[in-house]
């Protein structure tokens, strides 16, 4: 009996050992798998897909997202090592989710766009880790996905990823981070931090501390540039009304925080842009200035019922900056 027991024990140990060896081999096999490398050249069809992307985005053609998304996704499947194509797929998904209030009825499956956006931005970051914009967007959709799933670990991962993105390119990602935080309750630490990030964006863009009591931006307009990291502080081909959209959002955040007096001054800075007279959404800003005080309550109420909503919850969440 004793020999039988010993034999059984040896067999169990052998099976366990074999299982551990197999598990270790599995981890080793995954660890040594060749990494996907970014392509060094792009096809003509990929460039055509890019053109379709920009025409749709700059034209504000929300209804045209699906056919262009089909085009871009088919290009990604042909060349999944193309970071630009992957990022464009991700942006279309986040645009569709971001401006969902355009829809007569918002389906529950709109949340799938957040998940897919995260997947494609994750691919883009893996292929081009030096592109801090990709990292910033990946962080924001990771935060959004964690919020949807009520998964605090994912929310925290997205938050600290966002901090890394801010460190890599503060002029761009302080705004990106603050924008996504604008959805939080006005009395929350995350919202307050997001609003502070908007002020820090201004400080970084002009290389000095902007007067928060009297934010007169007139003297800074001569600093406008199309080069270097500070180019994202101004209007560009990518975001033709980035300047106006930034101050629309920052004004909305100040209103939500209850400081509608300063918000009016911030809103008014948008008018300094040379492109302001042709901005498709200038009427929104003019109305914001007039209704700043009454919008405090509206911006702090749940969306719906025809009430005004902050920029990130509106039909121009992306178009305020990107529509020509």
Instruction: Pick out the chain residues at pLDDT < 70.
Output: 1-26, 30
Tell me what pLDDT residue 15 has: 56
Tell me what pLDDT residue 41 has: 86
Nearest in space to 80 (alpha carbons), one of 46, 111, 29, 117: 46
- Residue 159 to residue 163: CA distance in whole angstroms: 6
Task: Give me the sign of the Cα torsion angle 137, 143, 144, 146.
Answer: positive
Distances (CA, A) of 129 to 10, 186, 246: 49, 33, 26
0.85 cut: is pTM over it?
Answer: yes
What's the Rg (C-alpha) of the chain?
24
Tell me what pLDDT residue 162 has: 97
Tell me what pLDDT residue 3 has: 44
| Percent helix, percent strand, percent coil in the chain, to nearest 5 | 70, 0, 30
Domains by residue range for the chain, with CATH:
43-168 (1.25.40.10), 188-324 (no CATH)
pLDDT digits (tens, 9 = 90+) for 45-54: 999 999 999 9
């Amino acid at each position: 009996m004793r020999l039988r027991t010993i034999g059984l024990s040896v067999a169990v140990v052998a099976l366990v050992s074999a299982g551990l060896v197999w598990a270790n081999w599995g981890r080793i096999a995954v660890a040594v798998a060749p990494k996907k490398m970014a392509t060094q050249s792009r096809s003509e069809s990929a460039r055509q897909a890019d053109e379709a992307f920009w025409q749709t985005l700059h034209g504000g053609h929300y209804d045209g997202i699906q056919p262009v998304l089909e085009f871009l996704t088919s290009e990604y499947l042909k060349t999944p090592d193309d970071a630009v194509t992957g990022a464009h797929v991700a942006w279309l998904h986040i645009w569709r989710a971001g401006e969902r209030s355009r829809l007569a009825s918002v389906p529950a499956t709109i949340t799938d766009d957040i998940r897919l956006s995260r997947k494609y931005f994750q691919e883009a970051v893996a292929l081009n880790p030096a592109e801090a914009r990709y990292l910033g967007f990946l962080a924001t959709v990771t935060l959004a996905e964690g919020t949807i799933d009520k998964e605090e670990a994912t929310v925290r991962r997205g938050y600290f990823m966002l901090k890394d993105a801010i460190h890599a390119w503060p002029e761009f990602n302080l705004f990106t981070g603050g924008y996504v935080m604008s959805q939080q309750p006005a009395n929350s630490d995350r919202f307050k931090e997001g609003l502070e990030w908007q002020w820090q964006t201004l400080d970084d863009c002009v290389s000095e501390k902007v007067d928060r009591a009297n934010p007169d931006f007139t003297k800074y307009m001569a600093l406008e540039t199309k080069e270097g990291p500070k180019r994202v502080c101004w209007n560009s081909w990518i975001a033709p009304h980035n300047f106006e959209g930034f101050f629309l959002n920052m004004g909305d955040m100040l209103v939500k925080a209850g400081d509608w007096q300063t918000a009016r001054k911030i809103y008014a800075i948008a008018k300094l842009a040379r492109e302001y007279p042709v901005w498709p959404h200038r009427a929104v800003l003019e109305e914001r200035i007039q209704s700043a005080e009454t919008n405090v309550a509206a911006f702090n109420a749940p969306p719906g019922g025809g009430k005004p909503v902050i920029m990130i919850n509106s039909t121009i969440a992306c178009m305020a900056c990107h529509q020509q």
